[in-house]
Structures are given as structure tokens and as C-alpha cells.
Amino acid sequence: MSERDTTERSSELVDRARNVVPGGAQTGLRAQAYDTGDVAFESASGATLTTVDGETFVDYHLGFGPIVLGHAHEDVDAAAHGAIDDGVLYGAGTAPLEVEVAERLVDLLPSVEMVNFCNSGSEATYHAIRLARAFTGNEKILKFEGCYHGWHDYVDVSVYPPEERLGEQYPESDGMLSAAVENTLVAPFNDADAVRKVLREHGDDLAAVILEPVPHSVGCLLPDQEFLETLREETRERDVPLVFDEVITGFRHSPHGAQGEFGVEPDLTCVAKALGNGYPVAAVGGREDLLAQAGGDNESGVVISGTYSGNLPGLAAARETLDTIVEEDVQGYLTDLGDRYRDGLRDLMADHGVEGRVVGHRSIFSPQFGVTGEPKSYADVLGLDEERFRAFAAGMRERGHFFTPNPYKRHHLSFAHDDEHLSSYLDDADDVLADL
């Protein structure tokens, strides 16, 4: 594909945005797209994005991962439109869609007995931690370096700490509540001994242990089975709720989540992203005794609220998305396709003598330059060549492939990607890697 033509309208729109929106985008992470040039999109379909200038890109960003079936999926959109016709929000009692989608989550996720809906992954992890704190009467939580659980103060700690701050509580944002940071303990991912040590020293004060079972906020760290089983054994022994943040892994890697894939069941599960193929819908689910605290039938119960929680278009999209994932074996298709992307990219990097590795799992992959070996913890991600990745992202964007230039993030695949997209990506990566 030839290099991109004019982006005049995109640049004009981004300039206008910067006058009224901090950074010119709705989050700082979205603004990182500008590292390889101003861009403003106005439509999406299948595996492609189209800008206001009429440029079309094959999309490997997919909104940070929610688009698992493809943009503007006909059946999902039709379901959401049908829900709109009946009113988007009732805000009292329940509705058939709430019950139907909750029942699907209970059926699909091995550990889930009850469900509360919300609107985003950050809300889901916030609610899960509140439920755990109410259950235990404790305040401290344990999380792992490199795991991202949302932007709120409870968990935005030690996601991307500098090397000299490893093992410390590193707040990722200014303005965070110091008490929240102090009550968030951190440990290396995949370190079973570190888990035992923290639980031995702080087990009586812990409200929860939370993790991404496959941390994709740093590309991909695959969990050791011993690590997951140690977490389960140690937390169960002390009656400390174990929380799986399956916001990324849930329904993208398996209909049964990472808990089904690895055979380790948490007490609470957070899902979002691929749950609704891009529609704003999320949920926290888990053990009945934990979720029942939010039943609203006593004065000492847990408050879980949200005006737009259980909005009907989002739930309709979730129902159709879940049904499609199961009926069409979406993950089987994406796993095979992802393997071929990863293998092809690894071969090209070897052919061109480019130092690095390709990490990933099933429908997610990412080249990481300047580092080698299989990463097992966040420390193994430190030292990657950020500038080389940005150069790779810029070169691929010039040739019509879009993904975030953030070197710690990842490519996603959707059910709309096919062999033609694969061939085009690898052909163009061949040229870009030759330049690198």
C-alpha cells in the first residue's frame, strides 16, 4: 500500500480539539496516536478505520481491544438498535436483558454465581475491591507490577514503575490519595515466593489480591501455573478474596475467561471490553456471598450504584456478542490467526537481524525491540527499545496499518481480520523492518 496522502482535515480537527479537550483527545492514551501524526477517524467497518480525510487503515488497535467481532458488526448493532427502540434506560427494578446476560455470564464463567453490571472496567475493579473490603473488614490489597486495573486511586499503582522503583508503591498519576497508595501492596508477577511472603506478613490485613491473569498492559506475560495455583491456595487459606481482572482476557481469549483456560477460579471476576464488542458494558461477578452484600436490603450493605449501569443497548450488544463468540468459535479462529501473525513477524525479525521478540497470546501480539527471551514479569519488559517501536509503528501506519505507537501496548485481532490482512501486514512489515 502506498504511503499516506494529505491529512489536512485530520490536522485541522486535532488543532480544534486541542483548544477544547486536554491533549486533543479524550484520554492521554488516545492522544498517543498523535506520536505518529495527527489523526481523526469518522467511521469504522469490519477490520478497517477511515479518517476524515478518507484514508483507510487496517485496524489492529480495535479501541484498546473491545472490538472482538469487527467494527459495526451487523448482528450486534441490530440488537443494540432494537433495544434503543424500546427505551435505553429504565433505572428501576429489572429488565429481561439484565437477567439474560447475567445468566449467560454465570453459565460461561466457572467462578461466577451472581453479577452486577456497570459501564467500564475501572468501575468493575472499583466495585470488586469495595466488595472485598466489606467482606474482610480490611483495607490493604495486593496487586502486581505491570498489571493495569483502571485509572482510580485504588489500583493505579506500579503499572509502569521505573526500574529504580521496582518493589515500591509507585503512583502512576498526580493527585492520587496517599492513603490509597499506601494500602496497595505490590509484588512481581509470576513470583510465587513473593506472594507467600506478602501473605505471611500482611495476610491478616489484606482485603483482596487482584491481578490480570494474563497481563496485557505490558504486551503479554503468560502466567506460570504454579503462580496461579499458589495465589488460589494462599488466599483461600486466609479467606482473602482473589480477584481476576478479565477486562482484556474475558471473551477475547476464551468464552470461559482465563479462569477456564488455566483452571484456576477466583472469587470475583471483572469483565468489560470484548463483552459488548465496543458498546459500554461491564460487570463484576463472583461468589454469591460476596455479591449479595450489594443487595440493598440492609443498612450495612455495600453500595454499588450507577445511573447508566445495565443500559439496554449495551446489554443487547453483550447478549449478541456472547452468543456469536460461542456459536462461531471466534476464539478458535483468532488463536490460529494470531499464531500465524506471531510466527510470521518472528521470522521477519530474524531474517533482518532485528533484535527483539514477539509476545502475545491467542488474538493479541506485539513486537518488542531490544529485548529477548520470554518475559515472565514486568522487570523483563524494562529496557525495550521504545524509539524503534515508534519507528515501526510510524512505518506501518504509512503503509496503511494502524496500532498505538505505545511500545508497551499490543496489537489486537478481530473476527473480521483474514488471510489477506495477514499477508498485507507481513509484506509491509518486511519493508519496515528492513529499514530498521
Which residues are designated catalytic? 148, 245, 273
Closest residue by Cα to residue 357 from 224, 222, 251: 222
Write a three-state SS string for 313-327.
HHHHHHHHHHHHHHH
Dist. CA 323–CA 121, nearest whole Å:
21
In the chain, the N- to C-terminal Cα span, in Å, equals 19
Backbone φ and ψ for 201, nearest 5 degrees, come out as -85, -30
Q: How many residues does the chain have?
A: 436
Count other C-beta atoms under 10 Å from residue 121's C-beta: 27
199: left (phi over 0), alpha (psi -120 to 50) or beta: alpha
Tell me the residue ranges of DSSP E strands in 86-216.
114-118, 140-144, 184-187, 206-211
User: Which three cell numbers, joined as nine digits, stand for 41?
Assistant: 477517524
- Facing residues of 50 across strands? 43, 56
Burial 56-83 (b: 16+ CB within 10 A, else e): ebbbbbbebbbbbbbbbbeebbebbeeb
Count other C-beta atoms under 10 Å from residue 354's C-beta: 18
Dist. CA 331–CA 255, nearest whole Å:
8
> Can you list the pairs that 85-89 forms with residues at least 24 positions away whose Cβ atoms lie under 8 Å?
86/312, 87/312, 88/311, 88/312, 88/313, 89/307, 89/308, 89/311, 89/312
Cβ atoms of 208 and 132 closer than 8 Å: yes
Count other C-beta atoms under 10 Å from residue 322's C-beta: 22
